Structure 1
Amino acid sequence: MKKILSSFGLALALISTHSLAADNYLLESKLSSVSFTTIKNQFVVEPATINTLSGELSESGKFSIDVNLKGISTGIPIRDARLNDIFFESVKYPDVKVSGKVDLAALSNGPKKLVIPVQVTMYGKTKSIGFPVVILKNDNYVMVSSSSSVIVGASDFGLPSENLTKLAATVGGIKISDRVPVSLALVFKK
């Protein structure tokens, strides 16, 4: 009898977990990205995109997103490698973690323009940032897109200034800005 009750309890737990997961949205990594632009010598603008994202959005509105820095793509492989190896030190700090909460119930009447407060953890340091976004929710998808870029500084997260100096040395000592505009496009599917 004990064995039957134990098996029944396990079955209920699995069913409960499955129905809970069915209410969650998973990030569609093929349709999602984080973009930033580096600025060298005050006038040279170099765009970069990271498409290696994973994450989840619960029906209660809590979300977490992992951004794997190894997925940086500038269109120039040597630049990608230098950003990863020298600047971000992605061997030691491979991921940027983003978490927060949004009121999904408030999104039932069409797209909304909001500023979502998020916790961003990078290089071992967490910082609160408000992301201005447009969110559209339907029965199966939640789409989030930047309504304007957020300016983020490497020093805000404790990235050593010598990392930027070393990176600049690889391109002839050209000055590179510590601050970059960041934008995002996220698609979550139920």
Structure 2
Amino acid sequence: MTINCLRPVHIAFMIMSLLCAPALAQSDGPFGAGWQLDAENSRIGFQSIKNQTKVEQSSFATLTGAIDGNGSAEIRIALDSVDTKVDLRNVRMRFLFFESFKYPEAIVKARLSPRLVDELRAERRKVITLPVTLDLHGVTKSIEAQLALTLLDDTRVSVATYEPISIDLAAFDLMGGLKKLEEAAGVTIIPSTSVNFDIVFAALDSSAPAPTSEPVPVASAALEPEGDFSKEACVGRFEILSRTGNIYFATSSAQLSNESVPLLANVVDIVSRCPDLKVQVIGHTDSYGSARANQSLSERRAASVVAFLAAKGITASRVQSLGYGETKPIAPNTTAEGRQKNRRIEFAPVAAE
């Protein structure tokens, strides 16, 4: 009769296996003390297609995220950190498409099952379909993501797209921004994008602070030169600011709406960083009403913007207000859309004396 016994070396091996189990399953729960996003080793990118055939890849430079001890996951993407590898293209994306001065972040949330931890420990790599919510441009939608989870080592896990995630721009109220991009760049852009990512989370031990995905300070996230801009960068930025359409007034009034403040705060920053240029603030109206009234209204609206800039520290000699009333339309005044485009504030840089 043969008797199978556990030899001392086998017992030692079992004990060591338990002691060295991955940090993904600490004694305080399947998710342990939580996981923190490792931004240095993580990437989120998206693809756009211009003129039907030209494919461009872009990414975001600033990410934060965490998974807490209950399996609730959150990733925050600083939209001002969009990186197309071209400075003015970044600025167009920020101001015209994402409108990051109003919507500084995209937020992704999901709930992970505790069962995934045990399965991942056993299989090391697992492909799952996970429902997530995406908060983008003031709209929150539920979408499904097919993800590949890979246990990199005892304390790190990768969460990556197994298949690109398709985003319908219309569903997130981004078609207006897309049209502005097309007009600014003189291209056509397919109205959907595909997102891909590879996010690394590092497990925290029980002595570490609780994981956090606090909002990113947007001012520190922008990928652009520090200090003063070059003349080319200034001229390009003022042209882009003139296309935003995010300076608002009440009907037949020169009183700035509070909705205008986020964009105007960015105008203050750009004017401050273009010390070799003066800026003309130019008001325009549609053709509704008399030409004389529209001329006066355009002048008063431009003056209100100049007054805002002056109140924020821009020297009066750096800015000048002008009004052209209804005389320089950029769209037909026969439609509501055309009239809205014609009611605008433009910024024209001129060389300082």
Tell me the TM-score normalised to structure 2 length.
0.46
1:1-190 equivalences under 5 Å are 23-103=33-113, 104-105=116-117, 106-109=119-122, 110-137=124-151, 138-159=153-174, 161-172=175-186, 174-190=187-203
Instruction: For 2:154 and 2:109, locate their aligned partners in 1 and report how far apart those are by CA, in whole Å.
Output: 22
Instruction: For 1:54 and 1:189, locate their aligned partners in 2 and report how far apart those are by CA, in whole Å.
Output: 12
Which structure has greater helix proportion?
2
Tell me the TM-score normalised to structure 1 length.
0.84
Aligned residue for 2:185, secondary structure, equals coil
Percent identical among aligned pairs is: 29
Instruction: For 1:49 and 1:74, locate their aligned partners in 2 and report how far apart those are by CA, in whole Å.
Output: 7
Which shows bigger deviation, 139-148 or 103-112? 103-112
**Which protein has the larger Cα radius of gyration, Structure 1 or Structure 2?**
2
Alignment correspondent of 2:23: none
Which structure has greater strand proportion?
1
Query: What 5-or-longer segments of structure 2 have no aligned partner?
Result: 1-27, 204-353
Give, as a single letter, the amino acid of the residue that structure 2 aligns with 1:170. A
Aligned residue for 2:163, secondary structure, equals coil
Aligned residue for 1:182, secondary structure, equals strand
How many residue pairs match? The answer is: 170
Instruction: For 2:111 and 2:37, locate their aligned partners in 1 and report how far apart those are by CA, in whole Å.
Output: 15
Query: What 5-or-longer segments of structure 1 have no aligned partner?
Result: 1-18
The C-alpha deviation readout for 1:24-61, integer Å capped at 9, x for no partner, is 11001111121101111100111101131101012432
Alpha-carbon RMSD across the aligned residues, in angstroms, is: 1.8
Cα gap change, 1:149/1:77 in structure 2, threshold over 3 Å: closer, same or farther?
A: same
The C-alpha deviation readout for 1:117-172, integer Å capped at 9, x for no partner, is 1111011111111111110234311211111101102111122x222111111112
